[in-house]
Structure 1
Amino acid sequence: MENSLKQRIDAWLDQDYRLVFYERITLCREAEAMFRHLPPALAYAKTFAYLLENITVEYETQGMFVGKVKQIIPTDEERRAASALYSRWWDMPLEEFQKTAYFCYSFKKNSREWLASRPPWLITQGHLSFQWKELAENGLSYFEKRAQDRLARENDPEARQYLEGICLSIQAIQNYILRYAQVAGEHGDPARQELLQRLSCQPPETLFEALQLILLVMLSIKRTISYDAPCMGRIDQYLLPFYERDIAAGRLTREQALSMIEEFLFKDMEGAALYDHMSPDSLETEVRLDVSGEDVPYFIVGGRTLDGVSCVNPLSHLFVEAIDELHMLKAPVIIVRTFNGIEEDFFQKVCKAMADNASLYVYNDETQIPAFIYYGIAPEDAEQYCMFSCNNPTIPTKMGSLRQIWFNLAIPLELALNRGVPFAETGKPRPEKTCEFALGDRLMGMMESGYYGVDTGALEDMRSMEDFLAAYSAQLRYLLAQLRQGLQADGAVEREANRGRMRIEDCFLEGTVENACDWVTGGTKYHQFMVNGGGLATVVDSLYAIEQLVFVQKQLTLPQLAEILRNDFSGQELLLRRLQNKMNKFGNDIPEVDRYAKVVVDLFTQAIQEQNRPEYLYTLMGEISTLRDFSTEGWYVGATPNGRKAGEPLSENQSPCTGADMEGLTAMLNSVSSIPFYHITGGPLNLRIHPSVINGPDGIQKLSALFRTYFENGGMQLQISVVDSETLRQAQREPEKYKNLTVRVTGYNAYFTHMGREAQDEMIRRTEHGAF
């Protein structure tokens, strides 16, 4: 890494958390008066253009690339004014919010500030992939011409306004780049002035030019409208021709390319904040006013073709090497697609970067591609899959933004044990509901409203484990049918609310311009809805405990066990301790336990598929993920047969229950690989490894061999934090000494010292693996 870049990174790590791109707030207030009354697409595009016409162009002399916004520390009065503006925009009933935000199944409690900073008429949700390949090959004029040509063939007034908005938005980005060209000239830099003038309307010719164009397009959108968790696509594939031409022409060496990519990756993060957006108890999170937040982009490298041919190329290596050099950055994230037979030198390079705590995760093509095909994605599209924020999948350019709900797998377990009634509601009249998934839950994506199921009969009549699993399956199927019912009702509201609307991503997706409608209402080829199964290990351990206590050892009847759980183990301390400490648990390579992981996930994904029909716009896709909400999910579940008391956290993501995996890394990975991931499209497996495990000359080779075996056995994903508990506790005591200590959270990384105390303590409680 160049010393000048290291100095800029050090300065970035010392930034004041109060910095805000305040110009945007002032200009949005002005634009509201001028444009909000216009038809939706024109109000959107004209506001976007007004912002790009009037924000300060910050011209830098440091670094290779240009592109930066002006940040200030607002006064208390300015902060109050911004908060009042946000309240005026968004303080509304849920029913009105649903129509105004015009997206559902994504708004979470800890994202209130994230949403509030967005003008209601200028929203994008991000979480998708633009046509980056087409941008690199053809430049911005390609997209403007496409929209202009489609506009010339359109007669419907609403569709014409939509297409006019697309054209105006692309022109606004072109004009913004021209503003940088003008300032370059004013700073006595005619070469850069000519380059930027050309990039505003013509395709790039070199790797540097392609990277500069991508940066300016990203900057213009992320800092004004937002483009949360942008998926940057398979960057090693679409930029390879530029690299190869530069090398062949002698314009670039490999070492220069590495330095350029390092600069590019940092430059894309330079305007981002240090805070952890999932730590609502952190002051830094509370005071944020910006629309762009952490701005974590996701770059995908590696992978294979459908025929098994490796796509690893020289740029794959360079991006992995670059993120390893930049291991002190919490972002961007490099997603490596691995596969059976991946080149050993490349995979060891990947493992070294992971061991260095670089911002890098690994996904397995051998499970991901079949999973997409299982849910109806064409094989040639599944081959191109990408990932973005919080380990969610996308089909780049052909799929709209993230829609999701966190489906609590422990709730149907409780319902199966109590004839479809929550433990806490036993003996009470069942409330009348039109849908089990209330609107508030649907908007937040969390199951918080007291869920009822179907009466699966008296427990006395369940004579075998198969009988009980049938009851669990019936509750799963009922709740997922209820979810589909709510989704369909919301679809009708959305279709009406979205008439004539556009989002900035509509400019850069396949199908939206051609169909003259946004992705929400059907503009793209695919429309996904992620159903994130949470608490998997809690349910697996509970099913094994039921099998042993009731059907094998016959120490309790099923009704007796249910009564003990209804009473939260009151007076049953010996049984509670036995379930907690003596019963076998998922995560220790015990086939009799691990088989229930396959049972539960098979039932889950089969129930999901029952709700996918040709007449439905949105396809439900299964994931195993809780993000950081495993504690929240536990609040709404009574005691479970694995020895978990009512209200306690569920298991996290794909991991075993906290502290349950006692037999080392190999055993834990063997257990997790029993999950049938070929029907699961996303979700993280977090590992925390003691540094001593990978110390020594053969540490990386051992790690590589372990991870290779995991993926060959059917594992889906890995992300690791190499840090011991004592270091984390020391960082809590002396945060100023650990400002660049990064940890893997869910689908993103955080600076440990910028996390809230609750999140820090949860990280310390995670199993620390001290041996293979």
Structure 2
Amino acid sequence: MKEYYTRSIPVSPRIGKLKEDLFAKMPQMEADRAELLTESYQQTEGLPIITRRAKAFAHILKHIPIVIRDHELIVGSNTVAPRSSQAFPEFSFQWVADEFDTMETREADPFYISEDTKQRLAKAFQYWEGKTTSDLATSYMTPETLTAIEHNIFTPGNYFYNGVGHVTVCYGKILQVGFEGIIEEAKAALAKCNPGDADFARRSHFLEAVIESCEAVIGYAHRYSELAAAQAEECTDPTRKTELFKISRNCAQVPGKPARNFYEACQSFWFVQQLLQLESSGHSISPGRFDQYMYPYFEKDLKEGKITHESAQELLDCIWIKLNDLNKARDAASAEGFAGYSLFQNLCVGGQDENGMDVTNDLSFMCVEASMHVFLPQPSLSCRVWNGTPNELLIKCAELTRTGIGLPAYYNDEVIIPSLESRGLTLQDARDYNIIGCVEPQKSGKTEGWHDAAFYNMLRPLELVFSRGMDNGVMVGIDTGDVTQMKTFDEFYNAYKKQTEYLISLLVNADNAIDVAHAERCPLPFLSSMIEDCIGRGKSVQEGGAIYNFTGPQGFGIANMTDALWAIKTLVFEQHKLTMAEYKQALDDNFGHGMSEEKATQITAEIVKQLAAVGKNVSNEQIAAVYNQVKSQACSPEKQAKYNQLLNWIDELPKFGNDIEEVDRFARDVAYTYTKPLEQYHNPRGGIFQAGLYPVSANVPLGAQTGATPDGRLAGTPVADGVSPVSGKDVHGPTAACNSVSRLDHFIASNGTLFNQKFHPSALSGTQGLANFASLIRAYFDQKGMHVQFNVVSRETLIDAQKHPENYKGLVVRVAGYSALFTTLSKSLQDDIIKRTEHVFQ
């Protein structure tokens, strides 16, 4: 039986100092990248876009300020100030300019912007008017698609306003051959190009762009080598002087040349991870199976006596700190959906190799230990589980979960591997999957997955069924008939399906328009140099250079939809307790609880628009009066009594999440209304669409834009997250909730599913608590659940942290497919986490 190094390792004092420096100040916006990018683009007008991208990347790396922070052993930073963000105007910029004066004070993920930075950015932004990927993507979308986006039916904001991310590159290859090896590969491919080839122009320029980008990265590392050497010469602390000289030697070697030891491998990995996020503003650049491609260097050094577990652990901890140094500024609305400054850098441990053998090793345990030491949200640690997973690893992970950090998330090989095979991956590639971003599986180094391509709110089509496709006086969906005249539940359910199918077609149109825009305006040669088979095919990942190509938008609200449709089916069509007209009126009246702020604002805007159309000007005071009148619409006492009775009837009905097989089977069918229609579509890169069932944290802000629903959910309140039951409705314990969720078809949702559970800390106390917890995971996975993650924190603690944030600066919680510092989240998102059902083992 294989033995693992499972002992706890003391935390180096260095880590505390690095962590303290990291959070000393608010993150800020910096202007250097935007200025340098713009300078380069102004100098390269008329050249092929792939050439312009490479030259801009090289210009940035040659001139952007570099810094070595105090106490660092691993170096390389995209910003001078810790946890700060550059701007990426080639993707979008108007939102930055619009929020110059509010970004510092907004509730979710604030950033400080100095007056000097505002001026510098504003000057750079002038060049980009009409030239961004978002501008081009908008021009490619149909009017119906733009209307659907405007009315919050779906939100394709991830790539609409940002760069491409959600990828894992071939880190292991860079460690083995360095970028000099990639350059030689590209030069060899270029030498085979014939000017008479049909694709010579595109192929040759792409390969030249790869070469230029990789050479720029080598030059950038050499800048750090020179800086470290210069600082070492001036340093009076002999220990730090030695460290700086070592850093200088490392950066002279990697990532240009192959890594020769574990320390160099760590530094090489970091340059790749860092610079991918300087080339593009895409997030979820995920390290993947870190414990696999790093292990040979660790094992070799350990055997040769060049490293100890303790010294290797310190290097890992330093990388974990650096992963939290990277940051990304989003617009205010997106910041609500991705709250917590998260970059979703998912790092996997455990699992199988391509031959189906377990590959857990000492680094698997040390990665878990690093998350315990650093105790920060990044990396978003994941553990692959199958029937060959050593119990020691599962217990080690459970010990981390018990701390309350929300890490790791757990993934089921027995579901994910066959689901990826069904999408065209070879068995060997499927076995070697890693997790991207929140919960999305893919084969590293071969995939352009376009995961998280859109948020699709499954409740919005239901609203449009009741309104015959209208939203605030605008035809957004299709007319599926008068619900008050429908005679059977099947007729109503089919209307929902038709509405969904139409809206999905618009979502696909949006995603494909954005996809084309990125290929035309922002191909990424540096990223493409590390994805198979871009060099062989002679084109970037944005043009279809990857082996596997997908687009993965995600739907959410399954639990609400299940409970809502079940309520209509039971109360209207089976028990005849009320008519569909009465149900419709109850929804319009928000069950007597008044109108949500979002809905009142929308209706007020529509009234003002109608008045303006007939030439009537409305003052701000009049608008406020209209809003207050709309918002204050109240029900009579008699009507309120009826609505209270209706809510009681709904509350007494069975709910998804309580191990009621009939309801759970129905939930499976409800999920199919989204997952199955999506499968028929293809993307411009030659790949297919695949569904995910997770919301990140958008179930809260998008719930604020959704009216009342037949499950008794009030207008403006959060939608259920992922495939989890509605908060507070899973009342029969954690195993019952697991049983319900496992009955969904997780295989068809190959872009990932997300299941949140919350436990009281007492549930995981002691050895028995850990054993119970591990057994729960294995039992759930035996029933073919795909993913599960946990918050282990009491409701009382969260409430107190909300009231007294100054006492809980280090409180990390699981939000959705990521963890975040609780005090950095918006109040609405904090409330959503607090309301999740709190379980104990019985």
TM range (shorter): 0.7 to 0.9
Matched residue, 2:51:
42
Structure 1 residues 689-716: Cα deviation after superposition (integer angstroms, max 9, x where no partner): 2222222342211211112211212221
SS in 1 for 2:692: strand
Question: How do residues 468-479 of structure 1 correspond to structure 2 at under 5 angstroms?
Answer: 468-479=492-503
Matched residue, 1:290:
none
Amino acid at match of 2:500: L
1:185 and 2:223 equivalent?
no
1:688/1:76 Cα in 2 relative to 1: closer, same or farther (>3 Å)? same
1:209 and 2:264 equivalent?
yes
Question: 1:534 Cα shift?
Answer: 1.4
- Give the Cα–Cα distance (whole angstroms) in 1 for the partners of residues 361 and 814 of structure 2: 27
1:658/1:98 Cα in 2 relative to 1: closer, same or farther (>3 Å)? farther
Matched residue, 1:757:
827
- Give the Cα–Cα distance (whole angstroms) in 2 for the partners of residues 628 and 459 of structure 1: 37
1:178/1:10 Cα in 2 relative to 1: closer, same or farther (>3 Å)? closer
Matched residue, 1:410:
459
- Give the Cα–Cα distance (whole angstroms) in 1 for the partners of residues 69 and 264 of structure 2: 17
1:377/1:559 Cα in 2 relative to 1: closer, same or farther (>3 Å)? farther
- Give the Cα–Cα distance (whole angstroms) in 1 for the partners of residues 289 and 460 of structure 2: 38
Question: 1:588 Cα shift?
Answer: 1.8
SS in 1 for 2:747: helix
Contact 1:22 1:71 in 2 (8 A): no
SS in 1 for 2:719: coil
Question: 1:370 Cα shift?
Answer: 2.1
SS in 2 for 1:508: coil
Contact 1:397 1:510 in 2 (8 A): yes
Amino acid at match of 1:542: A
1:538 and 2:577 equivalent?
no
- Give the Cα–Cα distance (whole angstroms) in 2 for the partners of residues 482 and 34 of structure 1: 38
Question: 1:482 Cα shift?
Answer: 4.6
1:552/1:93 Cα in 2 relative to 1: closer, same or farther (>3 Å)? farther
| Pairwise CA RMSD | 3.8
- Give the Cα–Cα distance (whole angstroms) in 2 for the partners of residues 578 and 217 of structure 1: 56
Name which of 119, 124, 132 aligns with 2:171. 132
Matched residue, 1:219:
274
1:97 and 2:135 equivalent?
yes
Matched residue, 2:313:
258
Question: How do residues 144-543 of structure 1 correspond to structure 2 at under 5 angstroms?
Answer: 144-154=183-193, 155=195, 156-186=200-230, 187-188=232-233, 192-223=247-278, 225-226=280-281, 228-272=283-327, 280=335, 294-305=342-353, 308-326=356-374, 328-358=375-405, 359-400=407-448, 402=450, 404-414=453-463, 421-422=468-469, 431=475, 450-452=476-478, 454=480, 460-462=486-488, 468-484=492-508, 497-498=520-521, 501-543=523-565
Matched residue, 2:94:
none
SS in 2 for 1:640: coil
Query: Which stretch shifts more, 673-682 or 103-112?
Result: 103-112
- Give the Cα–Cα distance (whole angstroms) in 1 for the partners of residues 382 and 725 of structure 2: 23
Contact 1:204 1:210 in 2 (8 A): yes
Structure 1: 5+ residue runs without aligned partners?
A: 286-292, 432-449
Structure 2: 5+ residue runs without aligned partners?
A: 1-9, 85-111, 234-241, 593-638
- Give the Cα–Cα distance (whole angstroms) in 2 for the partners of residues 335 and 645 of structure 1: 35
SS in 1 for 2:529: helix
Amino acid at match of 1:79: T
1:200/1:324 Cα in 2 relative to 1: closer, same or farther (>3 Å)? closer
Question: 1:580 Cα shift?
Answer: 4.2
1:706/1:278 Cα in 2 relative to 1: closer, same or farther (>3 Å)? farther
Question: 1:21 Cα shift?
Answer: 4.5
- Give the Cα–Cα distance (whole angstroms) in 2 for the partners of residues 101 and 6 of structure 1: 49
Question: 1:621 Cα shift?
Answer: 0.7
Contact 1:281 1:756 in 2 (8 A): yes
1:510/1:97 Cα in 2 relative to 1: closer, same or farther (>3 Å)? same
Matched residue, 1:65:
74
- Give the Cα–Cα distance (whole angstroms) in 2 for the partners of residues 483 and 25 of structure 1: 31
- Give the Cα–Cα distance (whole angstroms) in 2 for the partners of residues 65 and 375 of structure 1: 38
- Give the Cα–Cα distance (whole angstroms) in 2 for the partners of residues 95 and 275 of structure 1: 16
Matched residue, 1:652:
721
- Give the Cα–Cα distance (whole angstroms) in 2 for the partners of residues 332 and 95 of structure 1: 29
Question: How do residues 702-741 of structure 1 correspond to structure 2 at under 5 angstroms?
Answer: 702-741=772-811
Question: 1:654 Cα shift?
Answer: 1.6
- Give the Cα–Cα distance (whole angstroms) in 2 for the partners of residues 128 and 162 of structure 1: 20
- Give the Cα–Cα distance (whole angstroms) in 1 for the partners of residues 17 and 513 of structure 2: 51
Structure 1 residues 112-145: Cα deviation after superposition (integer angstroms, max 9, x where no partner): 99999x9xxxx84222111112112211112111
1:226/1:242 Cα in 2 relative to 1: closer, same or farther (>3 Å)? same
Contact 2:791 2:813 in 1 (8 A): yes
Identity across the alignment (%): 26
1:161/1:100 Cα in 2 relative to 1: closer, same or farther (>3 Å)? farther
Question: 1:411 Cα shift?
Answer: 3.6
- Give the Cα–Cα distance (whole angstroms) in 2 for the partners of residues 11 and 278 of structure 1: 29
Question: 1:742 Cα shift?
Answer: 0.7
Contact 1:140 1:170 in 2 (8 A): yes
SS in 2 for 1:405: strand
Contact 2:34 2:124 in 1 (8 A): no
Contact 2:708 2:715 in 1 (8 A): yes
Matched residue, 1:442:
none
SS in 2 for 1:524: coil
Contact 2:65 2:80 in 1 (8 A): no
- Give the Cα–Cα distance (whole angstroms) in 2 for the partners of residues 315 and 490 of structure 1: 39
Question: 1:743 Cα shift?
Answer: 1.1
Structure 1 residues 208-267: Cα deviation after superposition (integer angstroms, max 9, x where no partner): 211111112333343464452211121222222222222222222333333332222223
Query: Which stretch shifts more, 725-734 or 60-69?
Result: 60-69
- Give the Cα–Cα distance (whole angstroms) in 1 for the partners of residues 661 and 832 of structure 2: 28
- Give the Cα–Cα distance (whole angstroms) in 2 for the partners of residues 103 and 222 of structure 1: 27
Q: TM-score, normalised by structure 2?
A: 0.78
Amino acid at match of 2:538: A
Matched residue, 2:597:
none
Matched residue, 1:700:
770
Question: 1:723 Cα shift?
Answer: 1.6
Amino acid at match of 2:444: P
SS in 1 for 2:791: strand
1:605 and 2:675 equivalent?
yes
Question: 1:575 Cα shift?
Answer: 3.8
- Give the Cα–Cα distance (whole angstroms) in 2 for the partners of residues 637 and 726 of structure 1: 29
Matched residue, 1:5:
14
Contact 1:274 1:754 in 2 (8 A): no
Matched residue, 1:15:
24
SS in 2 for 1:169: helix
1:372/1:278 Cα in 2 relative to 1: closer, same or farther (>3 Å)? farther
Q: TM-score, normalised by structure 1?
A: 0.85
Matched residue, 1:445:
none
1:345/1:597 Cα in 2 relative to 1: closer, same or farther (>3 Å)? same
Contact 1:720 1:744 in 2 (8 A): yes
Amino acid at match of 2:816: T
Contact 2:273 2:287 in 1 (8 A): no
